[in-house]
Amino acid sequence: MTVDTTEARPIPTADWVTIPDLYADPYPIYQRLRAQAPIHWIPAVNRHLVIGYEACHAIELDQQRFSADEAQSLMKRSMGHSMLRKDDPEHDAERKAYGGVLRPKAIKQRWEAVFDRNYATYAARLRAAGPGADLVAEFAAPYAAENLRAILGFANATQQDLQRWSQTLIDGTGNYADDPDVWAAAERSSREVDEAIDEMLPALRAAPDGSLLSVLGTSGMPLDALRANVKMTIGGGLNEPRDALATTVWALLSHPEQLASVRAADRWSDAFEESIRWIAPISMYPREATRDTELCGMAIPRGARLGVAVGAANRDPAVFTDPEAYDVDRPRKPHLAFGGGNHFCAGAWIARASVVTIALPRLFTRFPGLRLAPSRPATVGGWVFRGVLSLPVHWD
């Protein structure tokens, strides 16, 4: 399809935007940018940042004009060439190789019992740490990591390994500052994951157990692609449920009247969906323009590196009323936190089951009077990946 770009206006440059400011809090920056245009060239990150809901959603649904297979991809360097950086039909073939491991039926039949056991383990760890403990470090992070370890089938690794691998690999994926120490840590983790995969595959082929590694090992997927896809799953499969859980707890404890409404009617799903709209765990991902084209009245040149800022799109006032506020009573409109189109997050059902079905209702039952630590505020950071970094809490 040819798109006429003769009437399209040029994309403005925002050379005042810095990576440290984006990391600290991108939302005031997005508000300032949005007042001028839905797309900006950001020299600090060497890409066009797409912040409007309409523009982000259009990109998600059009892989002909906007390819996931970006040249010089940070994700490819950090994790290898996974299906997340491929277009169809290659993407579709690798996604189908995941089979039903992450689907609702498997979650109900197999993984919910795993999540239940892991909840008990790490809720006990949080309680043992005592009031004032960090809910992220003592519960949300190890709970998400242990769930993922079981789903993947890494009997030769610990949840601490999964946490280290996930963080260093996604740090590489978001290394727009080109920090050599970040690359070195990502490369070490990449080698460790390869070694763990190579050790597990023969055992899982001999004794299949329904884990993702077991299924992928018999799928015919080439080893390089298998390794890249497992690393991609380690990244998003840990940080999304961890950050969605911590953000939802933080938001509810910061809005006690909304917490009361959620508890009274078991509205944990409403709380979860609003929290990932409010702070999307995966807040930005790349695309590359395959041709000269137009998007929301703006001229996009062929080869343009785009940053699809769904964290900004989810706060677009053209779509969401009072978008900067956390509001579980907000009229439900589709957010973009799980992506869309052919790249809709394959782990969305896992995140919802482990957080909404298991963790949230049980935390607020087991820890009566759960509340924020008055003298130690929560810390939040990130813009490519954003979440609550620490959440000190008290309870009765």
Distance, in Å, from the CA atom of 387 to the CA atom of 396, rounded to the nearest integer, reads: 26
State both tokens at 114.
């795993």
The verdict on residue 6 lying in a domain is: no
Please count the CA atoms within 13 angstroms of the CA of 147 that sit on its side-chain side: 36
Residue whose C-alpha is closest to residue 230's, from 181, 162, 184: 162
Distance, in Å, from the CA atom of 269 to the CA atom of 206, rounded to the nearest integer, reads: 40
The verdict on residue 270 lying in a domain is: yes
Residue whose C-alpha is closest to residue 359's, from 279, 224, 268, 294: 268
Contacts for 209 with CB less than 8 Å, ≥ 6 apart: 153
pLDDT of residue 316: 97
The verdict on residue 12 lying in a domain is: no
pLDDT of residue 173: 95
The verdict on residue 4 lying in a domain is: no
Residue 48's H or E segment, with its range, is: strand 47-50
Contacts for 93 with CB less than 8 Å, ≥ 6 apart: none
Contacts for 328 with CB less than 8 Å, ≥ 6 apart: 258, 261, 262, 267, 270, 271, 274
pLDDT of residue 3: 52
Residue whose C-alpha is closest to residue 235's, from 105, 345, 120: 345
pLDDT of residue 1: 45
The verdict on residue 3 lying in a domain is: no
pLDDT of residue 99: 84
Contacts for 77 with CB less than 8 Å, ≥ 6 apart: 172, 183, 186
The verdict on residue 123 lying in a domain is: yes
Tell me the average confidence (pLDDT) per consecutive run of 10 residues in the chain, 396 residues long.
64 97 98 96 97 96 95 94 94 91 91 97 97 97 98 98 97 95 98 98 96 96 97 94 98 98 97 98 96 96 97 97 97 89 85 96 96 96 97 97
The verdict on residue 2 lying in a domain is: no
| H-type alpha helices, the chain | 19-24, 27-34, 53-60, 74-79, 90-96, 104-106, 112-129, 135, 141-152, 159-173, 180-206, 212-217, 223-254, 256-265, 268-278, 310-313, 348-352, 360-366
Q: Phi first, then psi: what are they for 47, rounded to 5°?
A: -160, 165
> Rg (Cα) of the chain, in Å, rounded?
21
CATH number, residue 280: 1.10.630.10
Domain housing 268: 19-394
Q: How many domains would you assign to the chain?
A: 1
CB–CB of 388/247 below 8 Å? Answer: yes
pLDDT of residue 252: 98
Task: Determine the longest span between alpha carbons in the chain, in angstroms.
Answer: 65
134 forms beta bridges with 392
